[in-house]
Structure 1
């Protein structure tokens, strides 16, 4: 192989690899974090289909930008210099990033993809999807696990997070607004944040915004989602987090376990006890029979003894009667 061919392959051989810096999750972006199980490519395809379907339903069809181009007749009439300038302007315009509704980005963690959103509210979209799946129980994906909206991002350092959240959380928790809440925190590829310290600092902040805000880990009205990936902190506040199984697309399809009626359960438990009280056990029956047997045998013995006593008295009297004539 010639040196020229080697240089050519070395220089241009990596064109198929994605340059992560141009399509990676960054501070300032909004979108949706989607987790999957070992198949990111298929997960991305499913995510685009699912999001596009429900986005059109909720927000209407996506508007396509028209770059515009002159007709052949107009191009013939223009001189070469004007046509050249126009073509350069069109190339610059088309080179700029198009404001597409959904864009797949590198999240910075395995089995997690980030779909950047433009001109829509990702929290409303995800809630709408999960609400429909919860109602219809219709399976629409195989590899997607959780869908977490990201309505705010900041640097993943505790001071930066508290500073950002001070303003961000006002819409939900600042007086006169108040709610029961919980904090769902997870860090990936990041070791400089301690979970307990982050949760404590956020809880203190929510308490300062309104003392009426209360923590509820069972069935909160709102859940503050904090997802840290490398140096980016993704944040959102969502409803129905427990009801929609932590925003898990697969789990939300399962039927909820029906809780038994308390009154019926009480009646069912009381009934056997009443039956047990009404009906004596076999042991009690046997015991009763034994006692009755003992009582009968005792009565028989008493009768027998009384008869023996009478007999002995009669014998004694007869002997006395026989003895008296001889004495005379």
Structure 2
């Protein structure tokens, strides 16, 4: 007679397998991409972000799109197609080379979409500028689409070490006015004033002619702290582009619509 099935063990292994299959990508050191926020549907936010990013990326980087097309051979029989599908079953392997990939931040209605693009700022700024000029509303659930140039641990030592290449890129030339914007979610351990003071000293050390302007700076140094991570960007026209709030960018001057985040 066969041995009785251990239901508890079977349930445990099924749950363990299911958990493995649905495991979300998480923030990690060195990522770059886009911080996406929503007040409504997180799923809708991600869907709209994917559509927007892919559409504009295909326009900005047609060489990448052509390279993908060239990889596809015109003559494939059903066996080749089935074999290709089998090779693509492992979604973890596929996501490694995916141009955009949603990543869990641990904060509600706040998603990070990592990218393999060299410069997420160019893509997000292109989208924001077009919406600003045309006043065409392109999203409903996606509010902000903020380019992020580097992710690191949310400590003064880590941030000041990793921000050096970005500061040198943006502040080595002519004098500029700058502001430092610090936002935090689920983190009370970072010394906000201490971090801002350290970064301001680093900017002035690069060029003593740079001046702080909190109202209308040429460049904003953005620090978005989420739990134990700090998302860093240096962004010209941050306030002109409404902090990359796509809905606010689409509002016409004569529209009497209350502003969102």
Q: Into which bin does the TM-score normalised by the smaller protein fall?
A: 0.7 to 0.9
Q: Is the 8 A contact 1:35 1:147 kept in 2?
A: yes
Q: Which has the higher strand share?
A: 2
Pick closer, same or farther for the CA change 1:138–1:94 going to 2, 3 Å. Answer: closer
Cα RMSD, aligned residues only = 3.0
Pairing of 1:44-55 with structure 2 (within 5 A): 44-55=46-57
Note the residue ranges of structure 2 that are not aligned, 5 or more in a row: 255-261
Secondary structure at 1:254 match in 2: coil
Q: Which residue of 2 aligns with 1:170?
A: 168
How far is 1:55 from its partner?
Answer: 1.0
Q: Which residue of 2 aligns with 1:241?
A: 238
Q: Deviations over 1:62-104 (max 9, x none)?
A: 3439599xx89xx9xxxxxxxxxxx9xx79x997444121111
Give the Cα–Cα distance (whole angstroms) in 2 for the partners of residues 25 and 49 of structure 1. Answer: 22
Give the Cα–Cα distance (whole angstroms) in 1 for the partners of residues 149 and 118 of structure 2. Answer: 10
Q: Is the 8 A contact 2:171 2:207 kept in 1?
A: yes
Give the Cα–Cα distance (whole angstroms) in 1 for the partners of residues 152 and 72 of structure 2. Answer: 34
Q: Is the 8 A contact 1:171 1:177 kept in 2?
A: no
Pairing of 1:40-189 with structure 2 (within 5 A): 40-60=42-62, 62=65, 63-64=67-68, 66=71, 96-97=93-94, 98-174=96-172, 176-189=173-186
- The answer to whether the aligner puts 1:28 opposite 2:26 as a matched pair is no
Secondary structure at 1:147 match in 2: strand
Give the Cα–Cα distance (whole angstroms) in 2 for the partners of residues 94 and 242 of structure 1. Answer: 39
Q: Which has the higher helix share?
A: 1
Pick closer, same or farther for the CA change 1:165–1:135 going to 2, 3 Å. Answer: same
Q: Is the 8 A contact 1:67 1:94 kept in 2?
A: no
How far is 1:3 from its partner?
Answer: 5.0
Moved over 6 A (4+): none
Stretch of structure 1 that moved more, 220-229 or 57-66: 57-66
Q: Deviations over 1:172-213 (max 9, x none)?
A: 112x34311111111222221122222111111111111111
- State the number of aligned residues: 239
Q: Deviations over 1:23-55 (max 9, x none)?
A: 111011111111111421111111101111111
Give the Cα–Cα distance (whole angstroms) in 2 for the partners of residues 166 and 50 of structure 1. Answer: 31
Q: Is the 8 A contact 2:131 2:250 kept in 1?
A: yes
Q: TM-score, normalised by structure 1?
A: 0.65
Give the Cα–Cα distance (whole angstroms) in 2 for the partners of residues 243 and 94 of structure 1. Answer: 39
Give the Cα–Cα distance (whole angstroms) in 1 for the partners of residues 14 and 253 of structure 2. Answer: 55
Q: Which residue of 2 aligns with 1:286?
A: none
Give the Cα–Cα distance (whole angstroms) in 1 for the partners of residues 250 and 225 of structure 2. Answer: 27
- The answer to whether the aligner puts 1:199 opposite 2:216 as a matched pair is no
How far is 1:230 from its partner?
Answer: 2.0
Give the Cα–Cα distance (whole angstroms) in 2 for the partners of residues 95 and 215 of structure 1. Answer: 44
Q: Which residue of 2 aligns with 1:19?
A: 23
Q: TM-score, normalised by structure 2?
A: 0.81
Q: Higher RCO, 1 or 2 (CA under 8 Å, sep at least 6)?
A: 2
